Amino acid sequence: MAELRVGLGDRSYPIHIEPGCLDRVGAELSKSRIGNRYAVVSDSNVAKLYGERLLNILDSAGISARMFTFVAGEENKTMATVTDLASQLARAGYDRHDAIIALGGGVTGDIAGFLASAYMRGIPFIQIPTTLLSQVDSSVGGKTGVDLPEGKNLVGAFYQPRAVYIDTEVLQTLDDQELLGGLAEVIKYGVIWDEGFFMFLEKERERIFSLAPEVIVDMITRCCAIKAEVVAEDEREGGLRKILNYGHTIGHAVEGASSFQLIHGLAVSIGMVAAARLSILKGTLAQDVLDRITSILISYGMPTEIPGDLDRAEIKRYLKTDKKAVSGKVQFVLPDKIGSTYITDDVSVDLIDQVLN
Ligand code: GLY
């Protein structure tokens, strides 16, 4: 089993990565005693797949737990869902000595983490991510929250879990699109931080797609190690953590302009190429590096071009409302080689137009 730590002083926590580690959660929690009772929060899809299994595992370890579900879908990542779950917890008598387990993908982790940050002014929570995207990204680092009609993730909190359990076997039930979406974020780590990891991804594509256990564990461990290092240095995204947004600035705008028909990871793939092109135009990236980034994404079956039918003006409107803008200036994360990026708001409208068109 791989075990990492996110180093945040007295809020540090372990990340366990192992095929089948779901089965060990009961034994682990009976040792660590994070909560007296557990509320397992899951969506209607994941609850059906793994809910009962987790409750049985906890029960066998003598741990009291109940399931609390919400209807699957990003459209339910709302305050209303959090309020409803909080009421259910209150009616079931959960108190501040109890804890929450987030069992599911990014939406579940965001909702359950935010619920944990606010219920009884904060109770502990544990992440058991079940999608590749949540295993390599959202379950680590403590970003929690919900969407508003005015935009995604507009209400939330930085609230770190007490532990993350990543069972790589659950990826077997992921559909191809979800796997691909997660892989875009995996490739992102290679571009922003680690050329050796980028080369591993260039070499191991086939074994990654066949979900070869040892390669998948290596891959997820490397992503979580990078994320843990970045978060430990800059938990609240004052500086370094912004590099995790590589591909997300234009990516989010493209995702929005497609009315969310393009899934997040695939929009990020397009955004990574667009950001690399901006870097070329600024004279800070060599053409062969852009070619390498484009080639790996194409080899994984990901889109690299903004779909021709997307309204460019709409993409620019989304860019202007990017919530990570500082004083109205959009911040771009641009690669300058494989394994290295820089952050700049010095990107003219003319350069953006060239990349969008
Ligand atoms: N997903 C980017 C971050 O956690 O900062």
Between the CA of 62 and the centroid of ligand 1 the distance, in Å, is 35
pTM, full prediction: 0.96
Q: Which of 233, 244, 331 to mutate to test the pocket of ligand 1 (most atoms within 8 A of CB)?
A: 244
Mean pLDDT of the chain: 96
pLDDT of residue 241: 97
Q: Within 6 Å (CB) of ligand 1, which residues are found?
A: 137, 141, 143, 241, 244
Using H for helix, E for strand and C for coil, what is the string for 271-337?
Answer: HHHHHHHHHHHCCCCCHHHHHHHHHHHHHCCCCCCCCCCCCHHHHHHHHHCCCCCECCECCEEEEEE
Which atom of ligand 1 lies closest to the CA of 241?
Answer: 5
Q: 28-43: string of b/e by CB count within 10 Å (b at 16+)?
A: bbeeeebbebbbbbbb
pLDDT greater than 80 at residue 214: yes
**What pLDDT, on a 0 to 100 scale, did the predictor assign at position 326?**
77
CA proximity to 272, closest of 296, 295, 244, 251:
251
Which residues, 6 or more positions from 288, have their beta carbon under 8 angstroms from its beta carbon? none
- The mean per-residue pLDDT over the stretch 52-71 comes to 98
d(CA 244, CA 347): 19
248 band by pLDDT with thresholds 50, 70 and 90: very high
The reported pLDDT for the residue numbered 150 is 84
Atom of ligand 1 at shortest range from CA of 137:
1
Contact of 188 with 247, CB cutoff 8 Å:
yes
User: For atom 2 of ligand 1, which residue has the closest CA?
Assistant: 244
Same topology for domains 2-173 and 176-356, yes or no? no
Superfamily of domain 176-356: Dehydroquinate synthase-like - alpha domain (1.20.1090.10)
| Residue having the nearest C-alpha atom to atom 3 of ligand 1 | 244
- pLDDT score for 321: 81
Which of 193, 241, 268, 343 has most ligand 1 atoms within 8 Å of its beta carbon, as the pocket-test mutant?
241
CA of 60 to the centre of ligand 1 (A): 35
The predicted-structure confidence for 258-277, as pLDDT tens digits, reads as follows: 998 999 999 999 999 999 99
Burial 247-257 (b: 16+ CB within 10 A, else e): bbbbbbbbbbb
Cα 141 to ligand 1 centre (Å):
7
Q: Which strand (E) or helix (H) includes residue 15?
A: strand 13-17
Q: Name the 3-class secondary structure at 346.
A: coil
Active site residues: 121, 143, 185, 227, 237, 241, 245, 248, 252, 264
Which ligand 1 atom is the nearest neighbour of the CA of 230? 5
Count how many Cα atoms sit within 13 Å of the Cα of residue 147 in the half-sphere of its side chain: 12
Whole-number Å distance, alpha carbon 44 to ligand 1 midpoint, is 25
177 alpha carbon to ligand 1 midpoint, in Å? Answer: 21
Q: Indicate the domain borders of the chain.
A: 2-173, 176-356
User: What CATH code would you report for 2-173?
Assistant: 3.40.50.1970
Q: Closest ligand 1 atom, CA of 244?
A: 2
pLDDT tens readout for residues 302-327:
999 999 999 999 999 999 887 777 77
Percentage of the chain exceeding pLDDT 70: 100
- pLDDT for residue 191: 98
Distance (Å, rounded) from C-alpha 275 to C-alpha 1? 36
